[in-house]
Amino acid sequence: MSIQPINVLFLCTHNSARSILAEALLNHISKGRFKAYSAGSSPRDNQQPNPIGIEVLKSAGIATEGLFSKSWDDFAKPDAPVMNLVITVCDNAAGEVCPYWPGQPATAHWGYPDPSEGDGDDAHKREAFRQTLYALRRRLELLVNLPEASVSRLMLETTARHLAKS
């Protein structure tokens, strides 16, 4: 008997840093129980994942193949995978009006500072990306280890919102 994975969409403004880290990390640690995606409310033309973020993921042993920046509009289309949980990972995206998500997924906000911002050199930004990856891992490990009874829509939303406080 095959159990469908729980689809999770991570949202940010440009889909180049935090949401990309979350997508790659959840797919890495969930052992197929979750399927992660990421998107942005307004990715720039020709937006690509931040190269420092990709470097940090690779150095942590996390696969980066197939990661690319995309609009959240792609996930509101009729042929898009139905999401069970949508998590905003930046404060800008959390404050924006989201498209209609088919299936009315659970939602939560986990705010993280943008590791690519600031005037620091690449070494400082690399460390900011590592710290963001570490903070995401803490919450995502709790999420993937939830008992089966905790992943119904209501329980998933309540738990994901509670994890925002941890």
CATH of the domain at 57: 3.40.50.2300
Does residue 154 have a pLDDT over 60? no
Q: What are phi and psi of 136, to 5 degrees?
A: -65, -45
Q: Which domain holds residue 132?
A: 6-155
Residue reference for tokens 């990390």: 25
Distance, in Å, from the CA atom of 124 to the CA atom of 142, rounded to the nearest integer, reads: 28
This prediction has a pTM of: 0.88
Among the ranges given (32-46, 86-100, 113-127), the one the predictor scored with the smallest mean pLDDT: 86-100
Sheet-wide strand order for 85-88: 34-40, 6-12, 85-88, 106-109
Residues 67-98: pLDDT tens digits?
999 999 999 888 899 999 999 998 765 566 66
**What's the structural domain count of the chain?**
1
- Residue 46's SS3 state is coil
Does residue 156 have a pLDDT over 80? no
Residue 162 domain-assigned (yes or no): no
Residue 12 domain-assigned (yes or no): yes
Residue 165 domain-assigned (yes or no): no
Beta strands in 5-156 (DSSP E): 6-12, 34-40, 85-88, 106-109
